[in-house]
Amino acid sequence: MRIKPIIITRSLTSNSVSTAIRKSAQQLIAKQAQGMKFEAFAGDVIFHKLQDSLKKQLSKVYPIRM
């Protein structure tokens, strides 16, 4: 299953911040998907649990608008 998140920041960011956000998102998604069955992970995506946890973690790097 491929997950392609669309991450929008509150204002313009430098390339280094954008790269850090993308790498963090990839790591967090892989970490969450690793310990779950497909049905449970798909449910988290559908019911926005994955998006909420991503927003909490990625907002520490730079404010996110999702």
Residue 33: Cβ within 10 Å count? 18
Domains in the chain: boundaries:
8-15+26-65
Find, among 66, 63, 57, the residue nearest to 13 by Cα.
Answer: 63
Segment 1-55, tens digit of pLDDT: 888 999 999 999 999 999 999 999 999 999 999 989 999 999 999 999 999 999 9
Instruction: Tell me the whole-structure pTM to 2 decimals.
Output: 0.84
Segment 40-54, tens digit of pLDDT: 999 999 999 999 999
* pLDDT of 66 strictly over 80: no
CA atoms of 55 and 38, how far apart (whole Å):
22
Find, among 39, 28, 35, 27, the residue nearest to 1 by Cα.
Answer: 39
CA atoms of 61 and 56, how far apart (whole Å):
10
What is residue 1's predicted lDDT score, i.e. its pLDDT? 81
